[in-house]
């Protein structure tokens, strides 16, 4: 836990120094990148609920042919990565190092390019399940990193390149294909009517999630095995809190955007924010839909920072910033102290310990 507390201390040192220069901010962002790169790369296989599985898989691919690997349940891109890395070194730490470089380079480049407040973006990265999830779910985190890397091409309308990144992401986690929904929503307007539609969709998603999932498992053989597993069960208590958190964030972003007359400018991120709410509603009823959350939640690194920076009124901004700060700290420490099994990043151990 001390390594995460130290990260918070560094973050507050950064903001309290009151440096506003562009170089000052970039240097600190690069410093945070290096700090988390060390944490991710040097962690023991016990840090992250799924890390040990990937380490075991790496050990298994060392002495087998690439042809044999095709029978594995993992996607082909991830298998090839492990096999190629095993040719460089048989130490599984190389897998953690390389995956960490890819994931964190993409995340911090995304923040550097689009965030209006590095402080709030990095604070969100630590406090909410970004850092935790990226330490645990290596395959999907690599997929998300590739999608993030393709976002500039999406925004520049270079769809061929964006589709290329989505395809590469799908080679690490097949769920990445959901990101194709970004394309039609890129320039779709967002207004009160659209907001109501999303709320209705979220309501009906909650009601019909199990029926929808049953239909999917009956048609797609790949997911048939999940029909009677833990992934098909509901999880009201944990996910209700996540749903309320994401709804409050999304609605706040909408209200501030409307106040600032920025609905058109922020329309894409507003769509992403409320799709996240819809997926949360599905997730409450069927656990496996939680895998889709992460393709929409990372936009919160940008939208939340923009919201807190653009709240009207000095005192209102101070009050909301303080409340958000307390909420983020409470979320991180409550989850990792009382539900450490969710992500497994506490206790933290270096690989040599």
DSSP secondary structure string for all residues of 166-204: HHHHHTT-GGGGGGGGHHHHSS----HHHHHHHHHHHHH
Highest mean pLDDT, choosing among 207-211, 280-284, 311-315: 280-284
**What is the domain range of residue 253?**
187-310
State the average pLDDT over residues 228-256. 79
Considering its fold, how many domains does the chain have in total?
1
Q: Hunting for tokens 């999303």 — which residue is that?
A: 198
1 domain residue, yes or no: no
Global pTM?
Answer: 0.93
280 domain residue, yes or no: yes
Q: Using CA atoms, how far apart are residues 94 and 317, in angstroms rounded to an integer?
A: 44
139 domain residue, yes or no: no
Q: Quickly state the pLDDT bin for 34 (edges 50, 70, 90).
A: very high
pLDDT mean across residues, the chain: 89
Q: Using CA atoms, how far apart are residues 301 and 119, in angstroms rounded to an integer?
A: 10
274 domain residue, yes or no: yes
129 domain residue, yes or no: no
286 domain residue, yes or no: yes
- Residue 76 pLDDT: 86
19 domain residue, yes or no: no
- Residue 15 pLDDT: 84
234 domain residue, yes or no: yes
């Amino acid at each position: 836990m001390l390594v995460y507390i130290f990260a918070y201390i560094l973050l507050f040192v950064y903001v309290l120094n009151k440096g506003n220069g562009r170089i000052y901010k970039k240097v600190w962002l690069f410093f945070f990148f290096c700090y988390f790169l060390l944490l991710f790369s040097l962690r023991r296989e016990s840090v992250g609920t799924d890390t040990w599985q990937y380490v075991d898989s790496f050990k298994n691919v060392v002495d087998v042919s690439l042809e044999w690997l095709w029978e594995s349940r993992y996607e082909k891109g991830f298998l090839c990565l492990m096999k190629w890395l095993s040719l460089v070194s048989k130490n599984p730490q190389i897998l953690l190092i390389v995956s960490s470089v890819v994931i964190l380079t993409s995340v911090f480049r995304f923040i550097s390019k689009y965030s209006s407040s590095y402080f709030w973006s990095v604070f969100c990265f630590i406090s909410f399940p970004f850092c935790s999830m990226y330490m645990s779910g290596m395959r999907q985190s690599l997929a998300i990193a590739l999608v993030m890397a393709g976002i500039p091409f999406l925004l520049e309308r270079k769809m061929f390149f964006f589709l290329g990144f989505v395809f590469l992401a799908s080679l690490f986690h097949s769920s990445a294909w959901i990101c194709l929904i970004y394309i039609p929503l890129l320039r779709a307007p967002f207004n009160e009517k659209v907001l109501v539609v999303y709320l209705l969709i979220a309501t009906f998603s909650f009601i019909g999630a199990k029926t929808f999932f049953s239909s999917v498992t009956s048609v797609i053989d790949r997911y048939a095995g999940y029909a009677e597993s833990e992934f098909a069960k509901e999880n009201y208590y944990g996910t209700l809190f996540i749903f309320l958190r994401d709804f409050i964030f999304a609605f706040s972003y909408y209200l501030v955007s409307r106040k600032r007359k920025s609905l058109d400018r922020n329309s894409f991120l507003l769509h992403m924010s409320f799709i996240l709410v819809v997926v949360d509603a599905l997730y409450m009823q069927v656990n496996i839909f939680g895998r889709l959350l992460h393709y929409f939640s990372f936009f919160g690194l940008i939208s939340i920072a923009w919201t807190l920076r653009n709240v009207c009124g000095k005192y209102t901004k101070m009050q909301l910033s303080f409340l958000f700060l307390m909420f983020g700290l409470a979320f991180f420490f409550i989850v990792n102290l009382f539900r450490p099994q969710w992500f497994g990043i506490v206790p933290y151990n270096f690989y040599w310990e």
